């Protein structure tokens, strides 16, 4: 799998700052910051990725990682990237919305049914995404799984319609979640990620949409009592590098470093993709084994809500992504489903 990890994590969220202005000033030092906590599968794989790059690039460079949000939240990371203080970023939907919102076409509600569909569509569109990134002065290294966004609550509810009347956490940096909340009339409480756990503990919020990986990694599962396996959205993350930063390297070193970044990405995150997806399933089981009750909603009873949520696809076209990009995604999905 190309790992694209749980939304508030990111996740995965890896951000890198290059210090030093000349290739002759050796070694070039990269500072890497991430929201991913110590011990998380994303950070473990990131550390493998860093070691692989340093051992094989042939460029005199050092990457130092600062986990757990030491480098700031995604808004901070994006600002630092734009001002040249950071040169590489790993971002979830919040950062993607600022840097390259076209990728969010993959994040639409009730678009994908499974990872096979995700892999097929991403494979079809990745070169297009890279071309778009280049126009923004960015080099898109890869896309990651953040997981499937599902529903959790402290109080049992019997349907999606009842769920959206709870005090539902909405990430204040998630453009699609904000649009969806307005469209569906969700009783949303907008908060940044660091305030979620405290807000659950104090009762400011009592329900959320989250991936199982984010739920466990950020300790939100300790406040949840009910789990509704109702896939709302697939959540992507992305790893991008400033082209301006790459061009500070000598041409030969720049090309070697660029090639090694891609090769190391495939060797580490690419090979770990299937394991990440298994981890996501295992964490969901652990949540249930820990006492969180599974409640199945009647899918047919939610058809009206699903149809209304899908209206956001067209509404966001021309804002987050071009209408023709959405058409290409839907055409690829139609082709895949016809063949399978």
Q: What is the CA radius of gyration of the chain?
A: 20
Structural domain contains residue 8: no
Structural domain contains residue 3: no
pLDDT, tens digit (0-9, with 9 covering 90-100), for 34-71: 777 788 777 888 899 989 999 999 998 777 777 777 77
pLDDT value at residue 298:
87
Determine how β-strand 226-242 pairs with β-strand 168-171. Answer: unpaired
Domain of 119 in residue numbering reads as 14-339
pLDDT value at residue 250:
83
Is residue 138 within 8 A of residue 242, CB to CB? The reply is: yes
DSSP state of 86: -
Given pLDDT bands bounded at 50, 70 and 90, which one contains residue 156?
very high
Which residue has better confidence, 95 or 224? 224
pLDDT, tens digit (0-9, with 9 covering 90-100), for 125-148: 999 999 999 999 999 989 989 899
Residue 231 has pLDDT above 70, yes or no: yes
The average pLDDT across 63-84 equals 82
Q: What is the CATH number of the domain that holds 183?
A: 3.40.190.170
pLDDT, tens digit (0-9, with 9 covering 90-100), for 179-198: 999 999 999 999 988 899 99
Which residues 6+ apart lie within 8 Å of 303 measured at CB?
none
Residue 17 has pLDDT above 70, yes or no: no
Domains: count for the chain: 1
pTM, to two decimals: 0.87
The average pLDDT across 107-119 equals 97
DSSP state of 193: G
Structural domain contains residue 221: yes
pLDDT, tens digit (0-9, with 9 covering 90-100), for 299-322: 787 888 899 999 999 999 999 999
> Angle at CA 51, nearest 5°, toward 261 and 129?
25
pLDDT value at residue 8:
44
Best CA proximity match to 217, nearest among 61, 22, 3, 6: 6
């Amino acid at each position: 799998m190309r790992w694209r990890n749980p939304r508030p994590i990111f996740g995965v969220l890896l951000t890198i700052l290059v210090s030093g202005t000349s290739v002759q000033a050796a070694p070039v030092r990269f500072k890497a910051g991430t929201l991913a906590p110590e011990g998380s599968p994303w950070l473990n794989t990131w550390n493998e990725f860093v070691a692989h790059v340093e051992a094989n690039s042939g460029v005199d460079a050092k990457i130092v990682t600062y986990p757990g949000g030491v480098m700031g939240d995604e808004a901070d990371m994006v600002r630092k990237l734009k001002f040249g203080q950071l040169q590489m970023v790993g971002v979830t939907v919040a950062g993607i919305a600022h840097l390259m919102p076209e990728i969010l076409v993959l994040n639409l509600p009730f678009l994908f049914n499974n990872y096979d569909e995700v892999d097929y569509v991403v494979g079809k569109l990745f070169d297009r995404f890279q071309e778009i990134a280049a126009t923004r002065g960015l080099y898109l290294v890869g896309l990651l799984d953040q997981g499937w966004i599902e529903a959790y609550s402290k109080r049992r509810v019997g349907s999606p319609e009842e769920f959206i009347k709870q005090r539902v956490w909405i990430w204040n940096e998630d453009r699609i979640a904000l649009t969806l909340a307005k469209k569906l009339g969700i009783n949303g409480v907008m908060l940044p990620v660091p305030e979620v756990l405290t807000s659950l503990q104090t009762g400011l919020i009592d329900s959320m949409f989250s991936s199982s990986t984010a739920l466990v990694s950020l300790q939100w599962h300790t406040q949840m009592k009910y789990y509704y396996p109702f896939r709302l959205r697939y959540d992507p993350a992305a790893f991008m590098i400033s082209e301006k930063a790459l061009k500070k390297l000598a041409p030969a070193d720049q090309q070697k470093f660029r090639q090694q970044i891609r090769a190391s990405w495939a060797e580490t995150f690419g090979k770990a993709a299937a394991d990440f997806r298994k981890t996501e399933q295992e964490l969901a089981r652990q949540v249930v084994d820990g006492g969180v009750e599974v409640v199945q909603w009647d899918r047919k009873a939610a058809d009206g809500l699903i149809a209304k949520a899908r209206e956001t696809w067209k509404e966001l076209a021309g804002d987050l992504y071009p209408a023709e990009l959405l058409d290409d995604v839907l055409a690829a999905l139609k082709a895949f489903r016809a063949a399978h």
